[in-house]
Amino acid sequence: MGKFKSISIIILLNAGFLFVINPAFAENPMRITIEENAVSAYTGPHVLMRYNYENVPFKPCVHELFSPEGVNVLRDAPADHLHHHALMYAIAVDGVNFWEEQQAPGRQAHQSFSNIRIDRQGEVPGASFTEQLDWFNPRDQELLLKEQRTIKVCVPDDFKVTLLSWQSKFAVPSGKESVTLTGSHYFGLGVRFVESMDTGGTLFNAEGKAGEVVRGDEKLVRADWCAYTAKANGKIVTVAMFGHPDNLRHPTQWFTMSKPFAYLSATLNLHREPLKVLSGKPLELQYAVAVWDNRVEEEQIEKVYDWWVKSKQ
């Protein structure tokens, strides 16, 4: 895994765990543990996030994400769709499908971690790491795409929200001139909720629009953010996904559905507009997922969205 160093971070390797600890713990109670198969971020004794990167068959993902009061909102590999991995990113690359896990699906392979750190954005402490991934064609092990993925999680006290930022930088591998990104209307950064949130919730977005019906209950809508309020194991939570204004094809096109279960995905409209990524010109995308306890109003979501954009989380 290599050695990780930072002026403000102490690193201890013990019993198979890598601990990233801030010396001024009282001022910044965030910490990260990197275990054999997962990365976990904590605030004090409480888990905020778990990210699975090893012993995953096809793609690393955010396995669990907790509200400030400790309610997890994510579910991995439910029986109805085993390829739904909690919070995951998947598209098709040069015709290889990285979303559905059948008929020789593509594989996102973890390579290494870097920039594992505890830092502050103003008065807000955060924990983050960067992962290098290689996207392979399983048939011939051809390297199709290289990704640099940065995950950061924080809890801004002013907003009483858990905020996870997801940044991906996609580059064409050496020896290739370009790759073409395609996919179904739901391909992108997708979130599958815990079972109790499958039904009975409310979807809404920054534009207040119902969206374009694609099939059945599935809709597409363009907006800065899209949110879902439902009961997670008996407690009401609100989960919002943000798309950054610097993203290509902003505002984000959101895929939503509420039947037979709820799903939310940030897409690039690839089913209608395939995207060619050229060598030497990486594609950079920034998203975030915010989790509140209780039901929150659009105004509250808008404030956190604006803060996230301005703070470069």
pLDDT of 101-128, one tens digit each? 988 899 999 999 999 999 876 678 899 9
Question: Which SS3 state, helix, strand or coil, does residue 24 take?
Answer: coil
Start-to-end Cα distance in the chain: 26
For residues 288-301, average pLDDT: 97
B/e letters for 8-40, b = 16+ CB within 10 Å, e = fewer, are ebeeeeeeeebebebeeeeebbbbbbbeeebbb
Q: Phi and psi dihedrals of 301, rounded to 5?
A: -65, -40
Residue 21 is predicted with a pLDDT of 47
Which class would CATH give 10-311? mainly beta
Residue 16 is predicted with a pLDDT of 47
Residue 313 is predicted with a pLDDT of 61
Residue 240 is predicted with a pLDDT of 98
Q: Report pTM.
A: 0.92
**E strand or H helix at 309:** helix 298-311
Residue 14 is predicted with a pLDDT of 36
At 5-60, the pLDDT tens digits run: 222 333 333 334 555 544 444 455 889 999 999 999 999 889 999 999 998 989 99
Residue 27 is predicted with a pLDDT of 53
Residue 193 is predicted with a pLDDT of 98
Please name the residue that has the structure tokens 């290494």: 112
Q: How far apart are CA 292 and CA 270, in angstroms?
A: 30
At 186-241, the pLDDT tens digits run: 999 999 999 999 999 999 999 999 999 999 999 999 999 999 999 999 999 999 99
> Structural domain boundaries of the chain?
10-311
